[in-house]
Amino acid sequence: MLKYTKENPAQEFIVATEVGIIHQMQKASPLKTFIPAPPENMCACNECPHMKRNTMEKLYLCMEFEQPEIILEDWIIEQGRASIDRMLEVSEQAGLKLAD
């Protein structure tokens, strides 16, 4: 995401992830505007304390041993996939390229 915002000619970005990256984006592109989502951090959904407990080692172990396994009902998977497909469709229509 950092690379994408540096290389993209756009001057404003809505950042819907951990707010910590916004500082890095502003350092790398001081003339651009980065808007946290949600803009008013009343719900703090972009300040998840559980995400901060993730480490590269934990990610590696999770991927290596495929644990913990999360089993979802089919309807949840279908609705989730539909949301992701729609998001990708909108970005393609807007002429955006996904970050590497």
List per-block mean pLDDT (blocks of 10 residues) for the chain, which spans 100 residues.
90 83 93 82 64 86 91 93 85 60
Full-model pTM: 0.50
Q: What is the pLDDT of residue 40?
A: 62
Q: What is the pLDDT of residue 95?
A: 64
- The domain spans of the chain are 2-69
Residue 34's Cβ-count burial label (10 Å; 0-12, 13-18, 19+) is middle
Token pair of 25 as six digits: 């984006």
Token pair of 98 as six digits: 């996904």
Q: What is the pLDDT of residue 47?
A: 67
